[in-house]
Structure 1
Amino acid sequence: MGRVFLVVGPSGAGKDTLLAGAAAADPRLHWARRVITRDSAAGGEPFEGVTESVFQARLQAGEFALHWQAHELWYGVPVAELKQLAAGRDVLINGSRAALPAALTAFPTLRVIQISAPLEVLADRLASRGRESHADIVTRLQRANYALPEGVPAIEISNDATPEKGIARLLYALRA
């Protein structure tokens, strides 16, 4: 049976880059594709973009193993994405620190990996991806130091160097 990892950290920490690199490097890893109330053309991670009404209908139908709201968007992890666990693959979820209590309830053996980067690196990355306004970037940076809930153990990874180094750090943490 595979394990579930929730990868969390502030916007711009490079979670998508590290998750994509780790999943490409190790076929035993499955990066869960999320459903997000964002236009699919927005870029970033591979995700399914839906309207809020479609998201809510799918939520009511029980299609999500985990869901949360952040940055005025809804995020959901479809139950189908967890089928890889039975095949012995580890499932990696790009999650939210605020969703940790619900994630721990849904997945009692959940492992948490927190990705961080210096504030100036976060600001540069958010600006370069071009999907947030200046005001949105400021709001996201204000949440950068949001602490994990009390008592939640996490593996800490600093993504302050090259993507290759960050991917290597994540792979090491996943294998530990």
Structure 2
Amino acid sequence: MTVGRLILVVGPSGAGKDSVIGYARQHMAQQNVVFGRRIVTRPADATETPDTMDLAQFEQDERAGLFLTSWRAHDLAYALPLSLAEDVAGGKQVVVNVSRRVIPELRKRFPCCVVVVDADEQLRRDRIASRGREAPAALEARLQRRIPTDFHADAIIRNEGSLAEAGEALMHLIGAPDHD
């Protein structure tokens, strides 16, 4: 039986984590890979399509233990659905975009591969600005936020070239076979 694991994709705002994950999702048809969707207390937009929920329902579900893990960042609440634990237990590779803060907790509970997606600061600034979600002060706050470094990264992907390059690198880490 194949051993499942969480592939935790982390990195600073604007690094292109969701784009890199989206590329891999689009190009992988394997049955043993699940691309988990986060639950976020913000409506979906063109850059990310999470499952959304209002804060009151989120907090109720959180208290009821309905999430695999949850965290707060950028005045929003985020979580992963509990069903992802079943996918890992069933031998699947589960790819998720998470906060670095939850890495220690998840490493204690599951086999994990931590992948950092990063990019040059100016490129990240341009990407965040193009989303149109933050005022200039909030954008700068995202860029200046202290990033926890007390975790071991299994791989680093620099997302500064083509999306295909970064996406293929993630697919390699997931264990994708050659594809079209």
Identity rate, percent: 33
8 Å CA contact 2:101–2:148 kept in 1: the answer is no
C-alpha offsets along residues 6-61 of structure 1, whole Å, 9 cap, x if unaligned?
10000110000110111221223211011111123x34222111111110101111
Q: Which residue of structure 1 aligns with residue 162 of structure 2?
A: 162
TM-score of the two chains, using structure 2 as the length reference: 0.87
Q: Which amino acid aligns with 1:162?
A: S
Q: Which residue of structure 2 aligns with residue 26 of structure 1?
A: 28
Distance in 1, Cα, partners of 2:123 & 2:109: 33
Q: Which residue of structure 1 aligns with residue 81 of structure 2?
A: 78
Q: Which residue of structure 1 aligns with residue 9 of structure 2?
A: 7
* SS in structure 1 at match of 2:42: coil
Number of equivalences: 172
1:67 aligns with 2:70: yes
Distance in 1, Cα, partners of 2:118 & 2:166: 10
C-alpha offsets along residues 77-109 of structure 1, whole Å, 9 cap, x if unaligned?
0111343334433101101112222222332x2
Runs of 4+ in 1 over 4 A off after TM superposition: none
Unaligned runs of 5+ in 1: none
What CA RMSD, in Å, does the superposition of the two structures yield over aligned residues?
1.8
**TM-aligned CA deviation for residue 72 of structure 1:** 1.1
Q: Which residue of structure 2 aligns with residue 50 of structure 1?
A: 53
Q: Which amino acid aligns with 2:65?
A: G
C-alpha offsets along residues 127-164 of structure 1, whole Å, 9 cap, x if unaligned?
11112221111011112x624215x2431110011111
CA distance 1:18–1:153, change in 2 (3 Å): closer
Distance in 2, Cα, partners of 1:46 & 1:35: 9
Unaligned runs of 5+ in 2: none
C-alpha offsets along residues 96-127 of structure 1, whole Å, 9 cap, x if unaligned?
112222222332x2110001100011001001
8 Å CA contact 2:116–2:153 kept in 1: the answer is no
TM-score of the two chains, using structure 1 as the length reference: 0.89
Which has the larger helix fraction?
1
* SS in structure 1 at match of 2:14: coil
